[in-house]
Chains A and B, each alone.
Chain A
Amino acid sequence: MIDIIINMMAGWITIAKWEFFRSKLKFDARSLILLAVSLLLLIGASYMAAQTGMNMNNDMYRVALTNPDLEPVLGIDQRFNVMTVDIDTASNMYATDADLVIIDPNVFMADTEKSASASEALKSTLKNYREGVLTSYNDINNSHPVWVTIHYLERPEAFQVLSGERPRSIAEDGEEEVIATQLSPEDVEAAATGGSITGEIGTGAAPAPPQTADEFQEIQRRNLFEKQTIATPSHFAPPIPFTAILYSFMFIFPIYFVSQFYSSSIMDERTNKKCELVLVAPLRGADIVIGKTVPYILVTMVIIAIVTTYIKGLPTDTETIKSSLLILATMFPIVLLFFAFSFISAILSRSFKELTFAMVFLSVVVSGYLFFPAMFANVHAISTISPMTLIVLLIEGENIKMSEYIFSTLPFYFVGLSVYVFGIYIFREEDLFTQKPITQKLLDCVEIFLSNPYGSVFLLSIIFIPFVYMAQLMLIVMLFNLPLPYSVIVMIVLAALIEELVKSIGIYTLFKRKMVAPTLKNAATLAVFAGAGFFAGEKLLVFITLAPIATSVFGSVMTMGTLLLIPLMVHITGVMVVSLGMYAISPRWYLPFVLFASILHGLYNLFILRGILFG
């Protein structure tokens, strides 16, 4: 038994070793020196850019001044291009060569959007100037007399992720919140009889307003990653979780770079048929694919581990070790998905250009999926759709629950792995080294799946569910720009199109590749199976993941009628239309029938949603 396992592993380990050492050889001395130089330049430039505040809005507003004393005031904001002129010139420049004309103490502006925007910018600049001047006096009680202390309290959410409330870590949030968390109104009332609860909550680790200018500076220099807990009203800012984007970039850039090499390496096997020799060797396609993939995944995970250490610090205590490991565990499915997409792009594309574009496209889409919900980390529970949100929470020192991990990473695991399985199916000579059209290669995947003894249209529909789920989530982001009723309508039609396409692709393959006889009985039975499979898969998905967002507005648009309410019949009808259509005319009419079925499906969904849309 062990012999067999060793033999099975030996195949891909050989390839992996080979891949690792060969690709290392690509970095000759010259490349390594150039790489080091360009990385140093990049780090230097980024550091300098960070010092300037990362603005590209230099000199966008032109301001004419008559009082030269104001020049340094506006000078603190790089947006203003300031000219000091005499009063006559200033009044001539009004509304022509200057967006704002300041004839002390009046600010005149033109009736244009640009001027309006400039005046808003001026207001914020004046505010910053005022704060700066006041801070320079060491007299906090008079210069900054009002302070706001922000506390966050738990309360039952209107909508929750799976079940229960998120337990908060005690160390980070200060005592008062823990007290509050465990208090029910009854407790509060009980406590109130004994004395004021305000006093109890007010003690603990709550920060106090600063006493000196130095302390004040300290508070202003609040770490970007920390939540604001105390501020003056002017500095009081709602929680904008832009940090999430920063993390995403730090973690995703390495993946992007390594996946470039990975896809090049896969493509390399195809150009010049290098891999032909390997394929005739007694190795399975899967061995080659795993062998070629594992080194790249390992390298990426090592880089991510380094990034994690950079953010979290060296893992010295168990808490840091635990959250660092959890970060790696959350990043792994993301890496897997990126690599799966790189792999399938490399297998399908006919040229380097196509590969680059396919990869950029898929990276952009996946990054969008990761970024968008993570923007709402700490703001809304829907953000847990993206694993990036979990990363943000972990970096902030909070715990994540197993159910949350499953909720956000399961689609990544599922899509990543099934893409690999489909890719391995066509990792064979006739697909790798020929200029077959992409659609034919995709049909090959489906054909091989269906010729498997366990393959069936029922199972195929289930497998496609996570793909549909991710695609529909992306559609929400893409269609956000359209005005409201239209965006929902387009969303419904496109969502229906995706669903009809994946439900019937198996039947199309069976007919087209003549795997089953195109009889009426076959067409009808297959349609029932495909439709039922999709229905079953949907229910399964809803059960595992969708429950938390099903009650939100976005969730209801996405699921209402299609994933929750539409009975089995609609799914079967849609695929039946396509199936019978192909039987009656020819499989060549596949796409028109899919379109027709999508329209039917979309109309039904519109009918279900009519109250929301038109009511």
Chain B
Amino acid sequence: MAKQKSNMTLSPRIVMLIAKKEYRVVMHERTFILSVLIQLFIASFSTFLVIGLTSFYDPTALGELDMGSTKIAVVGNVDNDSELYLLLQNSDLAPILYGEFSDAYTAFYDRRVDAILIIPDEPPGGYEILDIDIYLPRSDLKATLVSLQLKEPLEKFEQSVRDIRTKRISGYTPLDLNIVERKTKTSSTYFEFLYVALLPLLVFTPAFISGGLVVDFITEEFERKTIDLLLVSPISLLDVISGKVLLATIIAPVQALAWVLLLMMNGIVIHNVVTILLLVLVTAMILVLVSGIISVMFKERGMAQLFYSLILIFLFMISYLFTNSPMNLVTRLSIQSIGGLETVIWLGGYSLLAVVLYGGLLKVVEGE
């Protein structure tokens, strides 16, 4: 009984002392710098992927950068007023008419043109399918570029053929909405990457890291048996664990704030920063408490890290399943797409989960 009591006493002063000690160790070992580097790498890597890919797959994103028109060969019995040919001429591509496929192929082989397009004889008003053959160079960047530039004229062509043919489908009325365009233009790929992927990833990476950090904080004491030394002093096990949990939790929103500021300095508008940081704090607490429970249960780094990673991926997966998962909540908060009441309810719910998990931690510590 006496042992259990000393296990469970909680002294705020000692908790702070433990937290400070861990803080000094983390700073001394420069693990913190490494952690920032990791996050920087993740950030630059994901921006690389998306900016690179959007500008690559969405040439309009490149803006004024002129890629020059790619020459393509067009084969078929086209007179100059063939609709597809006209659409191609008005696109970013430079179509060149060839009478024979073999001539076009020679030009393709000699790199004078980068694709061959064969226009079928079927008229738009006909009854057979119009099958367009496209020949692209294999394993070549040009193939992707040409496909990108071909998509728009092809879609326009499809639309114009459909305008004629869908009238024959009984009961079909096309849905037409007239979008009144404004000055501001943006690519939704880029916008969504920024607020759906990058921002949530950046503000939560510190929380993910904190969870792993606590595993190390706790299992190290058990594996090095330093915990036995601490426990003969008036410090209780709960003090030690709480101090570590405390430090790991509070460093997460601090790092998240740094990321938010960095993004803001780059001209990215982020709303509801305080609420977002509060959410990061609560999420970090949930993750840290989960990994705290695991660490006290297993007392061994390998096992505890394995289970923490598995649970982290599990949580990540279930956050795809519902609206207002922490990641989604950050997105909606940052672009002002969520009402005040909804925010309070969900934030309250997550805090409640943290309280329940703290109860779980108490239970596990008590069991020691």
A478 to B45, CA, bound (A): 7
Contact residues, A235-284 vs B (CB, 8 A): 236-240, 256-257, 260-261, 264-265, 267-268, 271-272
Given A107-B180, A238-B57, A375-B53 in contact, is the A52-B317 Cβ separation under 8 Å? Answer: no
Asked if B139 contacts A380 (CB within 8 A), the reply is yes
State whether B323 touches A257 (Cβ < 8 A).
no
The distance in angstroms between the C-alpha atoms of A232 and B106, with both chains bound, is 28
**Residues 159-214 (chain B) with a chain A CB within 8 angstroms:** 161-162, 165-166, 168-169, 172, 174-188, 191-192, 195-197, 200, 209, 212-213
Would A166 and B335 count as touching, CB distance under 8 A?
A: no
B161-A49 in contact (CB<8A): no
Task: Tell me the smallest distance from the CB of B315 to a CB of chain A, in Å.
Answer: 9
Main secondary structure on chain B at its contact with chain A?
A: helix
Chain A 86-135 residues near chain B, CB threshold 8 A: 99, 102, 104-124, 126, 129-130, 133-134
* Contacting pair A481 B321 (CB below 8 A): no
* Assembled-state Cα–Cα distance A401/B283 (Å): 48
Binds A, one of B23-31, B250-258, B274-282, B350-358: B23-31
Of the candidates B130, B223, B307, B324, the one whose C-beta lies within 8 Å of that of A147 is B130
**Residue with the highest number of chain B CB atoms closer than 10 Å, among A35, A120, A357, A481:** A357
User: Closest residue of chain A to B153, judged by CB?
Assistant: A233
Per-position 1/0 for B299-327, Cβ under 8 A of A: 01111011101110110011111111101
Alpha-carbon distance A197/B130, docked complex (angstroms): 20
Chain A, residues 458-502, CB within 8 Å of chain B (1/0): the string is 000000000000000000011111000000000000000000000
Q: Do the beta carbons of A141 and B31 come within 8 Å of each other?
A: no
B35 beta carbon closer than 8 Å to chain A: yes
Scoring B29, B220, B320, B327 by chain A CB atoms within 10 A of each residue's CB, the highest score goes to B320
Rounded to whole angstroms, the CA-CA distance of A374 and B51 in the bound complex is 17
Given the known interface contacts A121-B188, A480-B52, the answer about A357 and B31 at a Cβ–Cβ threshold of 8 Å is yes
CB neighbours of A137 from chain B (8 A) = 169, 172
A61-B337, A153-B135, A364-B38 known; A380 vs B212 contact (CB < 8 Å): no
Q: Out of A42, A54, A117, A481, which one reaches B313, CB within 8 Å? A: A42
Q: Are A240 and B53 in contact (CB under 8 A)?
A: yes
Q: Are A153 and B137 in contact (CB under 8 A)?
A: yes
Q: Which residues of B contact A156 (CB under 8 A)?
A: 109, 111
User: Are B216 and A356 in contact, CB atoms less than 8 angstroms apart?
Assistant: yes
Q: Given contacts A126-B177, A137-B172, are A145 and B108 in contact (CB under 8 A)?
A: no
Contact indicator A155/B162 (Cβ below 8 Å): no
Interface size of B by Cβ–Cβ distance < 8 Å?
Answer: 124
Q: Is A184 an interface residue (CB 8 A)?
A: yes
Other-chain contact of A379, B139, B178, B195, B327 (Cβ < 8 Å):
B139
CB distance from B180 to the nearest CB of A (A): 5
Is A213's beta carbon under 8 Å from chain B?
no
A14 interface residue (CB < 8 Å to B) = no
Q: Which residues of A contact B322 (CB under 8 A)?
A: 58
Stretch among B1-9, B11-19, B142-150, B232-240 lining the A interface: B142-150
Picked from A62, A73, A139, A146, the residue with its CB within 8 Å of the CB of B169 is A139
Known: A106-B178, A141-B127. A60 touches B306 (CB 8 A): no
Contact A481 B48 (CB under 8 A): yes
A62 partner residues in chain B, CB cutoff 8 A: 337
B259 interface hit (Cβ, 8 Å): no
A154 within 8 Å of B (CB atoms): yes
A59-B332, A117-B188, A120-B188 in contact; A151/B314 too (CB < 8 A)? no
The A interface is mostly helix, strand or loop, or mixed, namely: helix
Question: Given A105-B178, A111-B184, A379-B144, is A117 in contact with B109 using a C-beta cutoff of 8 Å?
Answer: no
Give the residues from 117 to 165 in chain B that come closer than 8 angstroms, CB to CB, to chain A: 118, 124, 127-141, 143-144, 147-148, 150-151, 154-155, 157-158, 161-162, 165
- Which residues of the other chain, A, contact B124 by a CB distance below 8 angstroms? 145
CA distance A61 to B335 in the complex (A): 9
Q: How far is the CA of A198 from the CA of B121 in the complex (A)?
A: 14
- Tell me which of A48, A110, A119, A238 has the highest count of chain B C-beta atoms within 10 A of its own C-beta: A238
B323 cross-chain contacts in A, Cβ below 8 A: 58-59, 78
User: Which chain B positions have C-beta within 8 A of A477?
Assistant: 44-45, 48
Closest to A383 in B: B139
**Residue in chain B with minimal CB distance to A375:** B49
Task: Please give, as numbers and ranges, the residues of chain B lying within 8 Å of A191 by CB-CB distance.
Answer: 102
Q: Is B331 an interface residue (CB 8 A)?
A: yes
Are A49 and B216 CB-contacts (below 8 A) given A153-B138, A264-B305, A265-B302?
Answer: no
The answer to the question of A368 belonging to the interface, with a C-beta cut-off of 8 Å to chain B, is yes
* Residue pair B311, A38 in contact (C-beta under 8 Å): yes
Q: Which residue of chain B lies nearest to A260 when distances are taken between CB atoms in the complex? A: B305
Closest approach, in angstroms, between the C-beta of B272 and any C-beta of chain A?
Answer: 14
Pick from B35, B177, B192, B321: contact of A105, CB under 8 Å: B177
| Residue A454 is within 8 A (CB to CB) of chain B in the complex | no
Chain A residues in 8 Å Cβ range of B155: 233-234, 236
The segment out of A305-313, A347-355, A556-564 that lies at the interface is A347-355
A185 within 8 A of B: yes
A400 to B132: give the CA distance in the assembly, Å: 32
A192 within 8 A of B: yes
Q: CA of A26 to CA of B161 in the docked complex: distance in angstroms?
A: 68
Q: Is the CB of B135 within 8 A of A151?
A: yes
Is A39 on the interface with B (CB-CB < 8 A)? yes
9 contacts between A and B (CB under 8 A): A31-B303, A52-B320, A116-B185, A124-B188, A134-B166, A134-B172, A196-B100, A352-B219, A379-B139
- Given A59-B328, A264-B301, A353-B25; 20 other pairs, CB 8 A cutoff: A38-B311, A42-B313, A45-B314, A58-B324, A108-B180, A116-B184, A126-B175, A141-B128, A143-B165, A144-B129, A153-B138, A198-B118, A233-B157, A260-B302, A260-B306, A271-B223, A351-B216, A354-B31, A357-B35, A364-B42
